[in-house]
Amino acid sequence: MGGRSPLVAQHLYMKHLRNKELVGRSMRRTEVLQQQVDGMTFNDVIMKSKKTIKGLHAQRERSDDAAQKEIAKVHAGKRRAIKKIEALQKSLTDPLEIKIRSDKVLDQALEKGSHRPTTYVSSKAPSNHSALLKEDAGDT
């Protein structure tokens, strides 16, 4: 477009901001020689970008939610494991539990026949080795 727009020219003329001779009262016309090619307009590009951003945002939210769920599962498993370990530690420090466990081990050893009474006799005992348990007395 060449020249000055009619609105600007009228404003300058009415306000006497320029000489009347300098103010152009005519306007040239511009014609489009070719018709525009059908394609994406700026509005189309903006709308497409907004849709893409919205989709990416939703995808990120879904992945964040999945990660948070996985983290919660791991933390819950960790808490369960810690409670289990603490319960085992507590049971191992309980004298009654220690007695029960040692009796079970002895019973298993007696059932398998791997129990040797000499291991429970002091070195000062006579050579005929007296049995410490009633079950051992019947075996010898």
- pLDDT at position 136 is 52
* Count of Cβ atoms closer than 10 Å to residue 123 Cβ: 5
Q: What is the pLDDT of residues 52-110, one digit of tens each?
A: 999 999 999 999 999 999 999 999 999 999 999 999 888 788 888 888 888 998 888 88
Give the separation between CA 25 and CA 139, rounded to whole angstroms.
133
**Contact indicator for 106, 119 with CB cutoff of 8 Å:** no
Stated pTM of the model: 0.41
Task: Quote the longest CA-to-CA distance of the chain.
Answer: 143
Q: Tell whether the model's pLDDT for residue 12 goes beyond 90.
A: no
Q: What is the pLDDT of residues 27-50, one digit of tens each?
A: 566 776 777 777 888 899 999 999
**Contact indicator for 121, 130 with CB cutoff of 8 Å:** yes
Q: Where are the domains of the chain?
A: 1-32, 43-93, 94-140
Structure tokens at 102: 């040692």
